[in-house]
Structure formats: C-alpha cells, structure tokens
Amino acid sequence: MNIILLGAPGAGKGTQATRIEENYGLTHISTGDIFRRHMRRQTEIGEEARSYIKKGLLVPDEVTLKIVKSALDEVHGKNFMLDGFPRNLNQAQQLDGIAKIDKVIDIRVDFDILTDRICGRRSCLDCGYTTHISVLGGANTCPKCGCEMTQRVDDREETVRSRLQVYATQTASLVEYYEKQGKLFTVDGMGTPDEVFAEIKKVLG
C-alpha cells in the first residue's frame, strides 16, 4: 500500500508520519527533507532547486518531480508514504504516471487553531528547545537553559495566515482529484496525537 499524507503546516503531519512509518513499515518520503539533503550535498538537482529558492521563486514542478522520481527509485518497490508532495493538481497527475497511490490521508485542523498553534511557538536561540507560549506561563526564558525564548519570523500571524491560505488554495484541486478517485480519507486532526493516530489506523486497517 502506497499512501500520501496531506495536512496544512502545523497540523501534526510529522508526528503522524513517524507513527505510520513505525507501525506500517512504509518508507517515509519527505520531499522537504530530500530537497535539503540534495542542497547540502550540492547535487545537480539540489543546485537547480537552490537557484529558484535563492531568487525567492517556487521550485518548478518538473524539478520537484525529478526529486520525487529519484526518491521512488531508491525505495526499490517497497511501500511508501509521500509527505510534502504532491502540492498541486499538476504534480498529482504527473505522479500517477510514475507510481500507484492507494490512499490519501488528509489531516484537517481548523485554520484558527493552526494559527494559534504556530504563532504561539517559542524557541530558545541557545539550545533549540521549542514549546508553546501557554506552557511558559508568562515567562520568556527557556525552561532548559534560562536563555531568552523567541518567535521565529516565519511564525508571525500575518505570515502564518498567508502560508495557510496558499496551502488551502493549492490543495483544493488536489483534494478534489483524489476524492473523485475514491482515495481520499479525511482525518480530524484536532485531537491528541494518539487520537489522531487511532483515526488513521481505521483508514489504513
């Protein structure tokens, strides 16, 4: 069984991906991780991707597809879980030409709650400890090392709202595409990680 994991930023996709990988033995293919690895190693594809990112442009679908294709070649026919791809309808259609997808799991969380989750994130610049502002109880110091906790520029409300809007716009046609094929399974992402995973298990069997 090959699956795709969908979910807006902050919806807890990473946590669930780890659990699915452990419980179902699916190879986790995270396009974000693969891009970063290629860029670190300065491979041809990595450099190509970097040239767009440097200019503040989106990496074109054909470059992303190349990355995904190479990752799929590496799994040698083992079952996999795609995370971060496809992002739009064109990518989904292209993907159908190179792999067979059985199920698409869409983890849904209300956007206001996601905004609160992401905007409330605070990280320690010194040790990297990250938590939600509600846990800090009004203090602005790291519970691990005592240094100052700060909010990432990317996590400011305006940025988060526009990021979520872009995600919603891009994935709407994608969701519809898989819905028509009878492959889409929507999972309520509002619960605890255990509750969300219980829902996913019902889908995956």
Active-site choice (36, 41, 144, 152)? 152
Based on the shown chain and the rule CB under 5 A, indicate whether residue 125 belongs to the binding site for Zn ion: no
Place of tokens 């190179």: 98
In whole angstroms, how close is the CB of 130 to Zn ion at the nearest point? 10
The secondary structure of residue 80, as a DSSP letter, is E
Examine the residue annotation and report whether 108 is marked as an active-site residue of this protein. no
Structure tokens at 22: 């452990």
Interface segment toward Zn ion; rule CB under 5 A; list 141-149, 161-169, 171-179, 185-193? 141-149
Examine the residue annotation and report whether 13 is marked as an active-site residue of this protein. yes
Among 109, 114, 124, 184, binds Zn ion (CB under 5 A): 124
Based on the shown chain and the rule CB under 5 A, indicate whether residue 132 belongs to the binding site for Zn ion: no
Examine the residue annotation and report whether 144 is marked as an active-site residue of this protein. no
Based on the shown chain and the rule CB under 5 A, indicate whether residue 129 belongs to the binding site for Zn ion: yes
In whole angstroms, how close is the CB of 149 to Zn ion at the nearest point? 8
Q: Which long-range contacts (CB under 8 A, 24 or more apart) does 62-68 make?
A: 64/31, 64/91, 65/91, 65/94, 65/95, 65/98, 67/31, 67/34, 67/35, 67/38, 68/29, 68/31, 68/34, 68/95, 68/98
Structure tokens at 3: 């699956």
Give the residue with the Cβ less far from Zn ion, 43 or 123.
123
Based on the shown chain and the rule CB under 5 A, indicate whether residue 142 belongs to the binding site for Zn ion: yes
User: Which has the closest alpha carbon to 6: 197, 147, 186, 194?
Assistant: 186
Cα separation, 75 vs 149, whole angstroms: 40
Based on the shown chain and the rule CB under 5 A, indicate whether residue 139 belongs to the binding site for Zn ion: no
Examine the residue annotation and report whether 202 is marked as an active-site residue of this protein. no
- Which amino acids are annotated catalytic? 13, 87, 121, 152, 163
Interacting residues toward Zn ion by CB under 5 A: 124, 126-127, 129, 142, 144-145, 147
